[in-house]
Structure 1
Amino acid sequence: ATFVANSEEEVLDEVKYLLSFLPENNLEEPPHQVPDDDPERLCEDLRDIMPASPNLPYDMKAVIRSVVDDGDFMEYFPGWAGSIVCGFARLDGHVVGIVGNQPMVLAGVLDIESSSKAARFVRTCDAFNIPLLTFVDVPGFLPGVDQEYGGIIRHGAKLLYAYCETTVPRIQVITRKAYGGAYVVMDSKSVGSDLSFAWPTAELAVMGPQGAVEIIYRRELQQAADPVARRDELVEEYTERYANPYIAAERGYVDDVIDPAETRRKVIAGFAMLRSKREDLPRRKHGIIPL
């Protein structure tokens, strides 16, 4: 079930809550509410939410609730594919659909189920003129024989296709890891995101610095007097030269590197700028999504 409640009364309340985010039809804009939350509010807690180690998790839902109006977030399929979070919220009173990797579950990787869940949500938002905000902290696609035989390439392509086909305003926020093909799939500039912001902790690379160093410098590490110390030096050097967000900004992969506390005001300003976005597509013409 998409939403679950403990009683009939709670179910009806959830239905009302859901309908408050949706327009009456696909030609109208989602309902706007006068916000109580200041659009210029700083999210001070986000400056300290990131763990010191890149291998430690944090709660992406806490990030989302800090950014959106009054912390109100209606999660979509909360009991399915926990490595990705989807749901509806408001920013400055305007409805947005939010997709975010969840580091608390499987380190936030994309697998068959999370790809399908997010693709379905993205297409739902596009159908009802709901702008999309995507938070990225993804180390890659989940490896394994089961995933390969289950069709991870095909299911991952669903999410890629869903983002590519959308016509609503789209903003990406990279909080930490943005590795390989999974980063591209998560609404990167390469697939048409209108704006991309990165926190200073963001790492955009083909793979993680430690994995890259162990492959590129394997022979040097084998011959080093202190392999561990030398590996740490090379990881720091690799991160500085290739994986930091400022290099990505220089190359046009992100539009700005922002203070995490300013995420809310930056995203609201971005959506305000994109509110008049229109894409004209041929009538009754569309591609064929990988099913």
Structure 2
Amino acid sequence: MQEYIDKLRALKAEAAGSPKDVESQHKRGRLTAQERIDLLFDPGTFNQIDTLVTPRYESYMGGKSSRLGDGVITGFGMVQGRQVFAAAQDATVMGGSLGEMHANKIVKAMRMALSYGCPFVALNDSGGARIQEGVDSLGGYARIFDANCEASGVIPQLSVILGPCAGGAVYSPGLTDFIFMTENSYMFITGPEVVKSVMQENVSQEDLGGGRIHASESGVAHFLASDDRECLLKVRELLSYLPSNNLSDPPYIPPRDDPERRCPELEQIVPVDPHKPYDVRQVITSIVDDGRFFEIHELWAENMVVGFARLDGFVVGLVANQPMVLAGTIDIKASIKATHFIRICDAYHIPVITLQDVPGFLPGTSQEYGGIIRNGARLIYAYSEATVPKLMLILRKSYGGAYCVMSSKGLRGDLLYAWPNAELAVMGAAGAVNILFRNEVKTAPDPQARGAELVSEYQEKFNNPYVAAARGLIDDVIEPRDSRRVLIRALHVTLSKRDRHIPRKHGISPM
């Protein structure tokens, strides 16, 4: 028996690689695939599968052998006490390139995760398709894409880009729920050399598809980290907010924060003057449990803030206008960002809380030509389609179509509240007076005084939350300091709304 055990140990040692492989990764500022697995999973819980798989192309290469495992580690283990499946590409084996058996290992792990209702995490570090295997490698990518689509909206899928990810390989991350990137990773369909030869553009890898570009310019990356360690810690934190699958509840954590806690600081954070900006993140951290807010897409479409937090221990998704950027107006990017996030929340039974302070949609030819109508409509559809609890709090401005599209009663919002200084109207008082009373103001003995008088009258009669409350369009007007406890009470009463009899509501299509 010892002979057989010794052989097994030798094979697994061969599959694990050599100290030189470790050194080569560390020189590039990256961890090895095994080190990444060790950081992602709870210590001692990871179980590898298909350790001894070998490449199919070996005979084409004159008998030259490759390391066992075919350049990817797959398996399952515990992350904060819950089962998770993962695949970690190994850049020390043929650059982590994807061949037939490499793809088969990944697809097998994905389908196991789907069968057992567990999240799947892909750690990407690959030079792309394995040229030696020709079309077999392309077929492998297609099978991975198909598995991504089948699992979409059923189990959380996270892609972590920790090195190169180019060509067809980018579409698997593009089909998953969330993408993490490090500052020394990159993603692009065609590399700088092809761009130069075809488009006559000189561009570096970083400027074409680096982590910072995708986090701030394209919006492809939801999270940016400085290195592998920070990135994998963020992955673990995100998983703590997501359920294992679409039939499970998000993880509940017994709260330490008092559900009846009042928030008097909110009355200082938000200026009454609608023209003065403030950071809506301060409002969020004041209201949620322990001030912990896990923001998503922090660097992209910054006029809209989205992310996860907890209220009385329950996971909630926050969608909020950001007055610090573009006055909180909704543009194309903000519409896309909020739409994708709302659909994720709806797929995984996470209540959506909307904090509204919005003067309207961003005007201009660039927005119209870029399809603000189409993308604004997608935001409407996401809110209307969502069956999870939908709560809304109007902090200050709520004008025009922007009021309609963000969790209004017309879109089946469950419970809606407003602060006493909130302004709900088709437009601001000054704009309304300019349209309705233009001639009266022009012909008045003192046009400026008459205009100010009419603005004041309009605000008193129409631009306040009490008109909307009188018509049942909001459920109550509350003091800012009561926001936390009112939202928690509303959350408790609406949590029973969810329909648990639908095995799959919808996939989560790319943004």
Say which SS state the counterpart of residue 243 (structure 1) adopts: coil
Opposite residue 190 of structure 1, the aligned amino acid is G
Which residue in the other structure is 1:239 paired with? Answer: 459
Which residue in the other structure is 2:228 paired with? Answer: 8
TM-score normalised by structure 2 residue count:
0.55
Which residue in the other structure is 1:137 paired with? Answer: 357
**1:157 and 2:382 aligned:** no
Which residue in the other structure is 1:205 paired with? Answer: 425
Which residue in the other structure is 2:446 paired with? Answer: 226
Q: How many residues align?
A: 288
Could you tell me how far apart the structure 1 residues matched to 2:317 and 2:243 are?
13
Offset of residue 108 of structure 1: 0.3
Opposite residue 238 of structure 2, the aligned amino acid is L
Say which SS state the counterpart of residue 96 (structure 1) adopts: strand
2:272 touches 2:421 (CA, 8 Å); kept in 1?
A: no
**1:42 and 2:273 aligned:** no
**1:86 and 2:306 aligned:** yes
Pair 1:92–1:285, CA change in 2 (3 A): closer
1:97 to 290, 293, 317: 317
- 1:140-289 alignment runs, 5 A limit: 140-279=360-499
Opposite residue 68 of structure 1, the aligned amino acid is V
Write out per-residue CA displacement over residues 46-72 of structure 1, whole angstroms, 9 at most, x where no aligned residue: 112222421111111100010000110
Pair 1:274–1:88, CA change in 2 (3 A): same
Offset of residue 81 of structure 1: 0.3
Say which SS state the counterpart of residue 197 (structure 1) adopts: strand
Opposite residue 74 of structure 1, the aligned amino acid is F
Which residue in the other structure is 2:333 paired with? Answer: 113
Alignment gaps of 5+ in structure 1: none
Could you tell me how far apart the structure 2 residues matched to 1:233 and 1:191 are?
35
Say which SS state the counterpart of residue 141 (structure 1) adopts: coil
Say which SS state the counterpart of residue 156 (structure 1) adopts: helix
4+ runs of 1 displaced by more than 3 Å? 278-286
Say which SS state the counterpart of residue 224 (structure 2) adopts: coil
2:252 touches 2:315 (CA, 8 Å); kept in 1?
A: yes
Alignment gaps of 5+ in structure 2: 1-220
Opposite residue 298 of structure 2, the aligned amino acid is P
Opposite residue 216 of structure 1, the aligned amino acid is L
1:53 to 266, 273, 276: 273
Pair 1:11–1:283, CA change in 2 (3 A): closer
Could you tell me how far apart the structure 1 residues matched to 2:397 and 2:334 are?
17
Say which SS state the counterpart of residue 450 (structure 2) adopts: helix
Write out per-residue CA displacement over residues 108-132 of structure 1, whole angstroms, 9 at most, x where no aligned residue: 0000000000000000000110000
**1:26 and 2:209 aligned:** no
Instruction: Pick 1 or 2: higher relative contact order, CA cutoff 8 A, min separation 6.
Output: 1
Larger Rg: 2
Could you tell me how far apart the structure 1 residues matched to 2:413 and 2:222 are?
27
Say which SS state the counterpart of residue 343 (structure 2) adopts: helix
TM-score normalised by structure 1 residue count:
0.96
Could you tell me how far apart the structure 2 residues matched to 1:175 and 1:161 are?
23
Pair 1:84–1:60, CA change in 2 (3 A): same
Could you tell me how far apart the structure 2 residues matched to 1:77 and 1:231 are?
42
